[in-house]
Amino acid sequence: MIYRASTAEEAVKLRHENPSSVYLAGGTEIMRLGSSAAADVIIDITALPLSDIETADGKVSIGALAVLQDIKEAEVIPSFIRDAASFCASLQLRNAATVGGNFALRRTDSYMAAALLASECEVEIMCSEGVKKMAASAYFDKPECRGLLLRFIVDTKREGRVKRISRASHMHAAVTAAFSGGCYAWSVSGSGTAYGHSRDGWKNIDIKDDLTGSAEYKRYLASVLL
Amino acid sequence: MLSKIEFKVNGRNTVFSGNPLTRLIDVLREDLGLTGVKEGCGEGECGACSVIKDGKLVTSCIIPVGAVNGSEIYTIEGIRDTEKGKCLVESFAEGGAVQCGFCIPGMVMAAYALLSENPHPTDEEIRKGISGNICRCTGYDLIVASIRLAADKGGDLWA
């Protein structure tokens, strides 16, 4: 069953009314190998006006439906976040995959999560009580949240770096790591995500073997990437 | 509630009323018989299944049909008989760009999207334009040369 939401409020209402539901935009994260997204009800949010990238007061607002190619090309976005979008090695995928989907599904091989968490950006989400602004990390830590991610708000002057190790450019990353303004973040395939101001923060992840490599290999990568 | 998903394929209205998470490629190939859309990796990485959705090149194997409600989709069958399509097909043949041919529908779609946006691409821009398309036969040089040929031969066609 599919519903097409015409407003963010309507999308959130539908999400709360249907426990087994999922938001659908580009769809590439839902369909990607290893996706755990499953639902009886699909809430189509593609019609919502959430793809703008705008600057104001030293911040850049990135709509959750902005696709990775638009992020890669937007010079107002800090370069390390644009680099993270480039990790999605296919132009076709970048034309379809949205930044909101890549972040909200919280995959451990996410292209964007480490860079966005390290940027210490804020997010706006639509909840049943209305629009809320919070740290992206606070949203990320609540996978049970049914709110709709509306936009990321990033400091335009933020500098940083992001690195990703995978066996080939198009394959799932073993480790993606980012550093910005004193904040570190790691996404470790099949294991978890960690962020914070400690360079050893990756040690909080229970790193496991998976198709991208052994636990020992990924621990080594996490320790040396930044 | 939407009981069906409505979109256009190659200019024709299409209605789909099955599972919205059905892959777009399966609808195109199996329901609509558009077998020019090839499945390679099934992971959105090889580009063999490339189609144009609302003017943008995308891979149909990793997009659920629920995400294309209201969209306009073009496959190789929708462009091959247009002037631009003929220009590309002739240039690919003339330039010797084709060996096994499996990747070529996707390559042509990528070239079509590229030249429609940028009628006079540099070689680097051509390589970026087909960067999401993998060919295991040719080594790409002849494909790049053929797209350059299509840009030169097509002239105002692409403007």
Query: In the prediction, which pLDDT does A127 show?
Result: 96
What distance in Å separates residue A25's CA from the closest CA in chain B? Answer: 6
What distance in Å separates residue A170's CA from the closest CA in chain B? Answer: 6
Give whole-number Cα distances, B153 to B86, B94, B107, in Å: 11, 11, 18
Smallest Cβ–Cβ distance between A28 and the set B1, B62, B66 belongs to B62
What CATH superfamily classification does B5-78 receive?
A: Beta-grasp domain (3.10.20.30)
Q: Do B2 and A44 touch (CB under 8 A)?
A: yes
What distance in Å separates residue B51's CA from the closest CA in chain A? Answer: 9
Query: In the prediction, which pLDDT does A143 show?
Result: 94
Q: Quick one: closest CA in A to B5, which residue? A: A2
Return the H-helix or E-strand segment holding A43: strand A41-44
Give whole-number Cα distances, A85 to A94, A98, B40, B49, in Å: 8, 10, 24, 22
Q: In the sheet where A2-4 sits, what is the strand order?
A: A2-4, A41-44, A21-24
Q: CATH 3.10.20.30 spans which residues of chain B? A: 5-78
What CA–CA distance (Å, rounded) separates A45 from A67?
14
Residue A175 has pLDDT above 70, yes or no: yes
At A37, the pLDDT band (50, 70, 90 cuts) reads: confident
E strand spans, A46-97: 53-56, 59-63
Domain that holds residue A211: 2-224
Do B143 and B101 form a contact (C-beta atoms < 8 A)?
no
What distance in Å separates residue B61's CA from the closest CA in chain A? Answer: 9
Contacts B20 to A, Cβ<8 Å: 1-2, 24, 42, 44
What topology is assigned to B80-154 in CATH? DNA polymerase; domain 1 (1.10.150)
What CA–CA distance (Å, rounded) separates B57 from B7?
16
Record the pTM.
Answer: 0.95
Q: What is the number of domains present in chain A? A: 1
Chain B CB within 8 Å of residue A79 CB:
no
Q: Do A96 and B63 touch (CB under 8 A)?
A: yes
The one-character DSSP state at B18 is S
Smallest Cβ–Cβ distance between A3 and the set B1, B47, B62 belongs to B1
Q: In the sheet where A175-180 sits, what is the strand order?
A: A160-165, A175-180, A183-188, A192-196
Per-residue pLDDT of chain B (159 residues; tens, 9 = 90+): 567 899 999 999 999 999 999 999 999 999 999 999 999 999 899 999 999 999 999 999 999 999 999 999 999 999 999 999 999 999 999 999 999 999 999 999 999 999 999 999 999 999 999 999 999 998 899 999 999 999 999 989 998
- Paired residues of A126 in beta bridges: A131, A148
Amino acid at A125: I
The one-character DSSP state at B155 is G
Contacts B64 to A, Cβ<8 Å: 24, 27, 30-31, 42
Q: What is the CATH number of the domain that holds A220?
A: 3.30.465.10
Q: Do A27 and B63 touch (CB under 8 A)?
A: yes
Residue A170 has pLDDT above 80, yes or no: no
Chain B CB within 8 Å of residue A87 CB:
no
Q: CATH 1.10.150.120 spans which residues of chain B? A: 80-154
- Paired residues of B51 in beta bridges: B58
- Paired residues of A178 in beta bridges: A162, A185
Q: Judge residue B98's burial from the number of C-beta atoms within 10 Å of its C-beta, 0-12 exposed, 13-18 middle, 19 or more buried.
A: buried
| Dihedral sign of CA atoms A79, A84, A89, A92 in order | negative
pLDDT tens, position by position, A121-158: 999 999 999 999 999 999 999 999 999 999 999 999 99
